[in-house]
Amino acid sequence: MPGLVPFALEDAMTREEILDRYRRLRAISTRHHGAALKFLSRAAILIHAKRLGLTVGRMLVPESEEEMTLAFDLALYTAKDGRSGALDRYARAVRLAPGSDEARMLDAMRDAHFSIWRLERRHDTAGLIVTDVLREIETWLIDEKLEASAPEGMSFAGRLCAPEGFAMSCGVVVPVDRGLIEEVALDMLAWRHGDPNGVAQDPRFAIAIYRAAIDNGIMASVIYE
């Protein structure tokens, strides 16, 4: 899968060097997310929140900030066919030095890949080895919180991007289990594309997973930093 290249740095950097690099890029991605939110209208946010069942009329009624984070994720990373997304509009407006960490991070975020990921094992140096369940590709993921707490075999939904030789999450990690996946499998819109890559890239797949996570109370146990 383009953009997610596993294991490229493992022989060249120590654990602390990898984590230091990750922390710098994570801080940059956080700034990009905050700046890109300014390119979203309230109407756009309401549309995505409504798809997740987080509105009553034109009022937002999420039960937690984590539920709203899912709506912001959809608003930032998805767009109607033929229309630009918020991250793309932000990228056109901001002036970043070519080749800088800021430019590298933003390019990676714009090329993020959504899927269901299964944690296979800890990486020998830092992070985790995860498998893209839909595309059946292994990726080296750096995420300090997941590395510290997630059990092997855990599955989660979210977007990963690769600004370096390792992948990073784009902020949203939604734990999923067999029951939730089976529920999403009944949503014909989420599976309207026959090939795995088409399914993963269709925003309706992410919407179905996020909606099921909210409806089943999964987000009550999730805390985003």
Tens-digit pLDDT profile for residues 126-155 = 999 999 998 899 999 999 999 999 998 999
| 143 close to 159: Cβ distance less than 8 angstroms | no
User: Is residue 55 classed as helix, strand or coil in its secondary structure?
Assistant: strand
Report residue 220's pLDDT band, with 50, 70 and 90 as the boundaries.
confident
pLDDT in tens, 15-60: 999 999 999 999 999 999 999 999 999 999 999 999 999 999 989 9
- The structure tokens 């022989």 sit at 11
Amino acid letter, 98? P
Report residue 221's pLDDT band, with 50, 70 and 90 as the boundaries.
confident
pLDDT in tens, 144-195: 999 999 998 999 999 999 999 999 999 899 999 989 988 887 775 656 656 7
Question: Tell me, what's the pLDDT at 214?
Answer: 94
The two structure tokens encoding residue 127: 């992070």
Mean pLDDT of 198-205: 87
Mean pLDDT of 114-135: 94
The two structure tokens encoding residue 32: 């990009």
User: Is residue 71 classed as helix, strand or coil in its secondary structure?
Assistant: helix
Does residue 9 lie in a domain region? no
Which ranges of 111-185 does DSSP label H, i.e. alpha helix? 144-149, 178-185
User: Is residue 159 classed as helix, strand or coil in its secondary structure?
Assistant: strand
Q: How many domains does the chain have?
A: 1
- Helix (H) / strand (E) element for 157: namely strand 155-161
Query: Nearest CA to 125 among 205, 19, 214?
Result: 19
Does residue 148 lie in a domain region? yes
The two structure tokens encoding residue 122: 């800890």
Ranges 80-94, 113-127, 137-151: which has the least confidence: 80-94
Alpha-carbon span 175 to 154, nearest angstrom: 8
Report residue 82's pLDDT band, with 50, 70 and 90 as the boundaries.
low
Which residue range(s) make up the domain with 151? Answer: 15-221
Residue 5 pLDDT > 60, yes or no? no
The two structure tokens encoding residue 58: 């034109």
Does residue 167 lie in a domain region? yes
Residue 1 pLDDT > 50, yes or no? no
Does residue 2 lie in a domain region? no
Question: Tell me, what's the pLDDT at 163?
Answer: 94
Does residue 107 lie in a domain region? yes
Query: Nearest CA to 68 among 46, 97, 38?
Result: 46
The residues facing 176 across adjacent strands are: 155
Residue 163 is given by DSSP the state S
Q: What is the mean pLDDT of the chain?
A: 89
Does residue 67 lie in a domain region? yes
Does residue 3 lie in a domain region? no
Question: Tell me, what's the pLDDT at 197?
Answer: 82
Does residue 134 lie in a domain region? yes
Q: Write the CA distances from 59 to 10, 53, 54, integer angstroms.
A: 48, 11, 8
Residue 100 pLDDT > 90, yes or no? yes
| 52 close to 60: Cβ distance less than 8 angstroms | no
Question: Tell me, what's the pLDDT at 201?
Answer: 86
